[in-house]
């Protein structure tokens, strides 16, 4: 039998005859060669969502934030307003205040004393981190913001609809923010390399990044008496941002969805004072097919040593995920009420109380990412992997058998179906159309010798196989084996 290896992540190209591969809720991990593994790459299931709490209101969780003192804050949408909660380590929800209802995420920053909250409107809010009091920031020399960050004792905001940004006074308190003494009207500046509007701000490696609609500049704290931040000479990026909430941060790198004078819908990662394109042509083509991309939401998370950048397009109902170690992409998806694939349930992320918390985009559930939990809440997680094209010099090939090289016999199931099932379908039209799936067992817990296989699979010149399953147990996939006979023509 011939082995069919899986060497990367999702790559469904512009033309399916080139590549028709999908990886849904599976990510590739390279196996170290010194261990003499049977294959170079194994696909592992993405972490499940284990519910730990429920918001008092059952709408979308717009944002979650871990403050520098370790406290967790969550913004939950109700029917008329959004509610800001402090959530303690026992998952008791304490209501602090309300803000207008909105679909956009909410952005937080804190200086160890006070948390600032912006929601893209002219009004912003503050929380006293010790007293847990909530109030509206005074409009005195304050202009609202879509983004906020904290650097060198200052809060920094973009002024919406302009190329300007402005800063608070140093080490401001809650009383100063709500009392109208936190800002000096002269502490405002503008991007100098290009006049495009600033859409968001970020601080990495002790420097301020002003991310505009078309270009990006880097500024630093110079200590100047008139305005403390000055532009870093030569630190200019000819890429802006197509979706302000697509910004994610991991270590000293930023990730976002690009827009520039030449086009849009490319995903980049910062590298020093420059950026590297990390999206593929296939993924860029898919993103460009969406009706709306400026609603994209991005965040970074880490689990079991794997770091991910997750990018969701709410209107399109799609979620893409980039794994930093391998540089490979995969799709993340959840099933909707009709059983169809839709975007991943995560709408926000924060790491608090020793766990990575995820807020649901619909029902107010608060989950934690758990590599040993194999459901999204109480729903199965669909896992799909399309294999490479199988071609033999254009000749017809008769397929006597296909065997899935998948981990079997594991436990951890939380549904009633046992033994668990896996399905195989295939395309003889190079991925353009598919036959009906054929189901086999991957065994119950402890049945380690189960070998899912399909026999007498017909004939094709160019065949694409696809495996799918949703068993709530530990699995991993290394490809498959095929038994074939090459025909004369």
In this predicted model, what pLDDT tens digit does every residue of 291-305 receive, in sequence order?
999 999 999 999 989
Distances (CA, A) of 45 to 28, 41, 417: 9, 13, 19
Q: In the predicted model, is pLDDT for residue 280 greater than 50?
A: yes
- Among 77-86, 218-227, 336-345, which stretch is predicted with the lowest mean pLDDT? 336-345
What 3-state DSSP class applies to 288? Answer: helix
Q: Where are the alpha helices (DSSP H) in 192-344?
A: 281-288
181 by Cβ neighbours in 10 Å (0-12 / 13-18 / 19+) ranks as middle
User: What integer is the mean pLDDT of 247-252?
Assistant: 94
Whole-number pLDDT of residue 192: 94
Position with higher pLDDT, 419 vs 382: 382
Position with higher pLDDT, 141 vs 1: 141
Whole-number pLDDT of residue 289: 94
Residue 179 parent element (H or E): helix 174-179
Q: Are 280 and 11 in contact (CB under 8 A)?
A: yes
Q: How is 421-457 classified by DSSP, letter by letter?
A: EEEEEEESSTTSS----EEEEEESTT-TT---EEE--
Proportion of the chain above pLDDT 70, given as a percent: 97
For 2-46+383-486, the fitting CATH number among 2.60.120, 2.30.320, 3.30.70, 2.30.30 is: 2.60.120
In this predicted model, what pLDDT tens digit does every residue of 455-470 receive, in sequence order?
999 999 999 999 999 9
Q: In the predicted model, is pLDDT for residue 473 greater than 60?
A: yes
In this predicted model, what pLDDT tens digit does every residue of 7-17 receive, in sequence order?
777 766 667 76
Q: Are 432 and 18 in contact (CB under 8 A)?
A: no
In this predicted model, what pLDDT tens digit does every residue of 187-218 receive, in sequence order?
999 999 999 999 999 999 999 999 999 999 99
User: What integer is the mean pLDDT of 372-398?
Assistant: 92
Whole-number pLDDT of residue 353: 98
User: What integer is the mean pLDDT of 416-440?
Assistant: 88
Whole-number pLDDT of residue 12: 62
Whole-number pLDDT of residue 418: 67
Distances (CA, A) of 439 to 22, 232, 243, 420: 19, 60, 41, 10
Q: In the predicted model, is pLDDT for residue 415 greater than 50?
A: no
Position with higher pLDDT, 445 vs 180: 180
Q: Which residues contact 52 (CB under 8 A, 6 or more apart)?
A: 91, 355, 357, 366, 367, 368
User: What integer is the mean pLDDT of 156-178?
Assistant: 97
Q: Are 62 and 102 in contact (CB under 8 A)?
A: yes
What 3-state DSSP class applies to 40? Answer: coil
Q: In the predicted model, is pLDDT for residue 67 greater than 70?
A: yes
Q: How is 322-369 classified by DSSP, letter by letter?
A: EETTTTEEEE--EE-TTS-EE--SEEEEEEETTEEEEEESSS-EEEEE
**Do the strands 341-342 and 334-335 form a parallel or antiparallel pair, or are they unpaired?**
antiparallel
Position with higher pLDDT, 12 vs 61: 61
Q: Where are the domains of the chain?
A: 2-46+383-486, 48-377
pTM: 0.95
Which among 15, 26, 119, 61 has a CA at the least distance from the CA of 422? 26
Which CATH number does 48-377 carry? 2.130.10.10
- Among 254-263, 315-324, 382-391, 416-425, which stretch is predicted with the lowest mean pLDDT? 416-425
Whole-number pLDDT of residue 416: 46
User: What integer is the mean pLDDT of 172-199?
Assistant: 97
Q: Rounded distance, CA 282 to CA 251, Å?
A: 27
Q: Which residues contact 101 (CB under 8 A, 6 or more apart)?
A: 77, 78, 80, 81, 82
What is the residue whose two structure tokens read 């950026």? 275
Whole-number pLDDT of residue 147: 97
Position with higher pLDDT, 20 vs 369: 369
Q: Rounded distance, CA 168 to CA 148, Å?
A: 11
Whole-number pLDDT of residue 403: 96
- Among 207-211, 331-335, 386-390, which stretch is predicted with the lowest mean pLDDT? 386-390
Whole-number pLDDT of residue 413: 47
User: What integer is the mean pLDDT of 258-285?
Assistant: 94
What does pLDDT average to over the chain?
Answer: 93
């Amino acid at each position: 039998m011939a082995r069919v290896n899986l060497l990367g992540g999702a790559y469904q190209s512009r033309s399916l005859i080139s590549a028709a591969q999908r990886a849904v809720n599976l990510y590739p991990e390279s196996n170290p060669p010194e261990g003499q593994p049977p294959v170079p790459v194994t696909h592992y299931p993405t972490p499940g969502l284990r519910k730990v709490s429920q918001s008092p209101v059952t709408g979308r969780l717009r944002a979650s934030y871990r403050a520098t003192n370790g406290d967790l804050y969550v913004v939950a949408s109700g029917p008329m307003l959004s509610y800001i909660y402090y959530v303690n380590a026992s998952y008791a929800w304490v209501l602090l205040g309300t803000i207008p209802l909105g679909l956009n995420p909410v952005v937080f920053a804190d200086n160890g004393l006070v948390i600032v909250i912006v929601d893209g409107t002219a009004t912003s809010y503050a929380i006293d981190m010790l007293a847990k009091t909530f109030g509206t920031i005074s409009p005195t020399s304050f202009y609202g913001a879509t983004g906020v960050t904290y650097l060198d004792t200052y809060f920094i905001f973009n002024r919406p609809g302009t190329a300007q940004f402005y800063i608070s006074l140093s080490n401001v308190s809650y009383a100063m923010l709500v009392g109208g003494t936190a800002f000096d009207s002269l502490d405002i500046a503008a991007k100098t390399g290009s006049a495009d509007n600033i859409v968001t701000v970020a601080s990495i490696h002790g420097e301020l990044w002003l991310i505009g609609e078309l270009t990006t500049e880097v500024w630093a704290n110079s200590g100047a008496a008139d305005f403390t931040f000055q532009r870093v000479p030569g630190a200019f990026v000819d890429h802006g941002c197509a979706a302000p909430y697509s910004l994610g941060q991991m270590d000293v790198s930023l990730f976002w969805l690009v827009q520039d004078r030449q086009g849009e819908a490319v995903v980049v990662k910062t590298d020093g004072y420059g950026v590297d394109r990390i999206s593929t042509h296939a993924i860029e083509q898919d993103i460009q097919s969406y009706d709306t991309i400026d609603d994209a939401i991005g965040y970074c998370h880490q689990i079991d040593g794997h770091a991910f950048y997750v990018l969701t397009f709410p209107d399109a109902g799609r979620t893409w995920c980039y794994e930093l170690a391998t540089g490979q992409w995969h799709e993340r998806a959840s099933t909707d009420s009709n059983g169809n694939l839709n975007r991943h349930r995560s709408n926000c992320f924060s790491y608090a109380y020793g766990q990575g918390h995820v807020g649901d985009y619909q029902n107010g559930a608060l989950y934690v990412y758990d590599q040993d939990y194999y459901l999204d809440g109480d729903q199965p997680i669909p896992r799909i992997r399309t294999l490479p094209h199988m071609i033999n010099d254009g000749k017809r090939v008769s397929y006597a058998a296909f065997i899935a090289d998948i981990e079997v016999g594991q436990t951890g199931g939380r549904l009633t179906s046992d033994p668990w099932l896996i399905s195989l379908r295939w395309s003889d039209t190079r991925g353009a159309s598919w036959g009906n799936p054929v189901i086999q067992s991957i065994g119950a817990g402890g049945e380690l010798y189960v070998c899912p296989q399909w026999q007498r699979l017909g004939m094709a010149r160019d065949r694409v196989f696809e495996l799918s399953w949703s068993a709530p147990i530990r699995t991993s996939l290394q490809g498959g084996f095929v038994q074939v006979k090459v025909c004369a023509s």
